[in-house]
Amino acid sequence: MPSNAPRRDAWDGVGAPPPVPLPPAETFTGSAAARQALEHMGAAPPPAPPPAPAPAPAPPAAPAANSEDAEKAARARVKEVRNAGTDEYQKQDFKAALSSYEAALQLLDELKKDAPATSSRVNAARDEMRQKVLSCLAKVHGKLGDARAAKEAVKKCDKIEKRLSEYKRK
């Protein structure tokens, strides 16, 4: 049944043009100023997405084809969680950053327990990751005013640094 009413998405040149559809809330990355400008133009931007919670430790993954693939996947997950902590640190959400860095350390501990390293190369790579996470953890503890915990993390970093220098000599 044909309708004589004009299509709502068509603009006949009279009056205001139809509103431009906005991207879904998940993909809208505009600033507050962009949001305000869109509201001023009559387009209602999607609501701001809620802040993302701290990433939880990864669920146990399915066994990889070989131990090297499993090692790479575990390192990638640790790096992802560490990077989330760094993002939170840069936003000055130190408690969230602390939980992310602790989750990264927990993943490293689980990796050590589940797949003991057989070569010094693997041990060195794991130690380098642990050292980076501990360094970030020390900074967060310092920002939160916990000097004792920051000092502990620095001591662990120094211990790992000594071990890494031994790996390099071999």
pLDDT of res. 120: 74
Q: Is residue 59 part of a domain?
A: no
pLDDT band for position 41 (50/70/90)?
low
Q: Which has the higher per-residue pLDDT, 114 or 24? A: 114
Instruction: Enumerate residues 6+ apart whose C-beta is below 8 A from 17.
Output: 11
The domain in which residue 34 lies consists of 20-50
Mean of pLDDT over the chain: 75
Q: Assess whether 36 and 119 both reside in one domain.
A: no
Q: Which phi and psi (to 5°) does residue 98 adopt? A: -60, -45
Q: How many distinct structural domains can be found in the chain?
A: 2
Looking at the fold, whether 92 and 157 belong to one and the same domain comes out as yes
Long-range contacts of 19-24 (CB under 8 A, 24+ apart): 19/43, 19/44, 22/46
Residues 31 and 90 in one domain: no
Cβ-based neighbour number of residue 129 at 10 Å: 21
Q: Is 17 exposed, middle or buried (0-12, 13-18, 19+ CB in 10 A)?
A: exposed
What's the pTM? 0.58
State pLDDT tens for residues 113-144: 777 766 777 778 888 899 999 999 999 999 99
For the cut 80, the answer to whether the pLDDT of residue 106 exceeds it is yes
